[in-house]
Structure 1
Amino acid sequence: MNILELHHLKKYFATQKAVDDISLEIEQGSIFGLLGPNGAGKTTLLRMITGIFYPDEGEVILDGKKFDPLTDIIKIGYMPEERGLYKKMKIGDQALYLAQLKGLSKSDAVQKIKYWFEKLEMQSWWNKKVEDLSKGMSQKLQFVTTVLHEPKLIILDEPFSGLDPLNANLIKDEIYGLAQKGSTIIFSTHRMEQVEEICDHIVLVNLGRKILDGSVQEIKHRFKEHKFNVQLSNVPSIILESPAFHVAEEKANKYIVRINDGYKSNDVLKYFIEKDLNVDGFNEILPSLNDIFINLVEDTKATTRSFQNIEAN
């Protein structure tokens, strides 16, 4: 079941197309990565999902019906990249105030705040002022105020910003836990290694358009270059030559080979076996999301420049 569907969303600012005909679907209970460089349209897209902006065209479907910001916003928890905290307020009062704005009674709010403060090791913060918090401490507080009303859809924009590795792992574990309990997470970040580790499905946007959509593993396989790491233990002093592959890189007894068109990995293994070489390691090299991200964004920029040159002439 899809918790969120976007149908042909468009948003314009003056002559700029901030979001240009984006459609996507997000399954309930998934951790979904929304990726893109600065200025790609991610924040505008998130603000339409949360009702901060209204789309110029298209519609948002939340939990099976057209999204109504006035009644459905309670189903969403949104942690923006910009800090949304009152600097002069005490931490406990801040969390209590925001929890009641999201529909919790005072007693329920206090109970849930204490629960989360204990989980994230924030028990001693209650009477501290927001302005006295470090960036990482502020991030933990914003995370708590985003999730404590148990929203169905949780939107986290750069949630690990300012966090040390220990606290980043703490928040990461809570994200997993929330998804396992049925919440859906939209995770927006520039850090590709976090996306590979956390997300089930990703969408990449650039210049207001969706340019990639799929599961992390499916996308990595889609862009693979048929390269393999090979480790041999008894390599004689011969050059490895075969129509099935060519050696792209060699170091000691370790090789990176690329399979030629028309051949398979079994053909490479067959060659080594026939040469009586001991194969100690053989694994495929899949591209990182970071490499895929950079190549696709650069290709999009190049294509856009070509169209602009054609229009100018």
Structure 2
Amino acid sequence: MTDDRSFLRAEPVDVTSNQDFVIVAERLVKRFGHRRVVDGVSLIVPRGMIYGVLGPNGAGKTTTLRMLLGIIEPEEGSRTLLGYSHPRDASDRVGYLPEERGLYPAMKAREAIAFMGALRGLPWHEGRARAGALLEQVGLGQAANEKIRKLSKGMAQLVQLLGSIVHQPDLLVLDEPFSGLDPVNQERLETLILAERDRGATILFSTHVMAHAQRLCDRLAIIAGGQRRFEGTVGEARAMLPQQVLYEPHFPNDGIAAQLPPGAQREGNAWRFELPPEGIETLLKRLIDAGYGISGLSIERPGLHEAFVRIVGEAAADPERVA
């Protein structure tokens, strides 16, 4: 009987001739009981990008990430990660920060980071040296010899993140990385993510904090009800909504509302409304001719939060439910 162990380590699949994609997933399906938690999600993550996965609670984001990593298997569909059809074969080239945090509380910060690197094949002495440098980089050098149990929640979370990048992975996957961090540590995390991207890593992360996604993402996918509802750049998501005008008259009175487009809403001394299809010039001329004048005027695209609400629906995007 032949001892064929080729299934233990699959060879990489040449997904594209130039290997520009780190992740290619096609119509992934996962059921829990009778419910399709992920219902035909497809994603393509280009190399070297920061790619965000957004969605409300129960959208299937975490389940999708775990299928991409090979932690759980899809019931339908296919995916490749770093060219491998079996994602776990690429585990040494991946850094992963799960939504459920966990470190050994008796370990010192530097050793915890080195230990996580060792699990990915990084020699212990090199891991300790890199851990010390990373802790200094994020302003936590003084905590290198502190036990995890003595660190604040935010500091411990940063230590776990450093453990996921200490082996310098090609792909970094972060599930809700900003959750529970104060503004200072959120800024440190953003800086780390950008530094990893600049180093050449591809970043895939889920978040419910739209401000982070708007600042960081090169591309993003929005998932709701287990399905992908949008995929593209932040600018393309924002462009789905009309531009907003904030107009402040110089001589306001109660009759001005009749001169403005339908749906205009008052905000203090100013009025907010959608940019008319024909542009702003005709409206401004009418307002000036009517004697209202212009004290202030701005035209801007709605933010990613507003686009997210439009795509997934206001009920699903309630701040208490988004995850």
TM interval, short-chain normalised:
0.7 to 0.9
2:271 is the counterpart of 1:265 = no
1:282 match = 297
Instruction: Judge which range, 124-133 or 149-158, deviates more.
Output: 124-133
Equivalent residues of 2:81, 2:87 under 8 A apart: no
Percent identity, aligned pairs only, is: 32
1:292, 1:153 → 2: CA distance?
A: 28
Which aligned runs of 4 or more in structure 1 are off by greater than 6 angstroms?
none
1:256 match = 272
Query: 1:266: Cα distance to partner?
Result: 3.2
1:1-313 → structure 2 map (5 Å cutoff): 1-63=20-82, 65-224=83-242, 226-233=243-250, 239=256, 241-242=258-259, 245-246=261-262, 248-250=264-266, 253-260=269-276, 263-272=278-287, 274=289, 278-298=293-313
Query: 1:99: Cα distance to partner?
Result: 0.9
Equivalent residues of 2:170, 2:200 under 8 A apart: yes
Query: 1:22: Cα distance to partner?
Result: 0.5
Q: Deviations over 1:255-277 (max 9, x none)?
A: 223445x5223332343455576
1:305 match = none
Give the structure with the larger strand fraction. Answer: 1
User: Considering only aligned residues, what root-mean-square deviation do their CA atoms show, in Å?
Assistant: 2.6
- Change over 3 Å in CA distance of 1:272–1:116 after alignment to 2: same
Report SS of the residue matched to 2:256: coil
Equivalent residues of 1:247, 1:255 under 8 A apart: no
Query: 1:297: Cα distance to partner?
Result: 3.3
- Change over 3 Å in CA distance of 1:59–1:272 after alignment to 2: same
Instruction: Judge which range, 226-235 or 168-177, deviates more.
Output: 226-235
Query: 1:149: Cα distance to partner?
Result: 1.1
Report SS of the residue matched to 1:222: coil
Equivalent residues of 1:19, 1:41 under 8 A apart: yes
Gaps of 5+ in 2: 1-19, 317-323
1:76, 1:86 → 2: CA distance?
A: 21
- Change over 3 Å in CA distance of 1:252–1:157 after alignment to 2: closer
1:17, 1:111 → 2: CA distance?
A: 45
Gaps of 5+ in 1: 302-313
- Change over 3 Å in CA distance of 1:266–1:181 after alignment to 2: farther
Report SS of the residue matched to 2:221: strand
1:48, 1:85 → 2: CA distance?
A: 23
Q: Deviations over 1:289-313 (max 9, x none)?
A: 3334344434797xxxxxxxxxxxx
Q: Deviations over 1:141-171 (max 9, x none)?
A: 1110011111111111121223221121111
Equivalent residues of 1:246, 1:259 under 8 A apart: no
TM-score using structure 2 length = 0.82
Equivalent residues of 1:19, 1:209 under 8 A apart: yes
Give the number of aligned pairs: 297
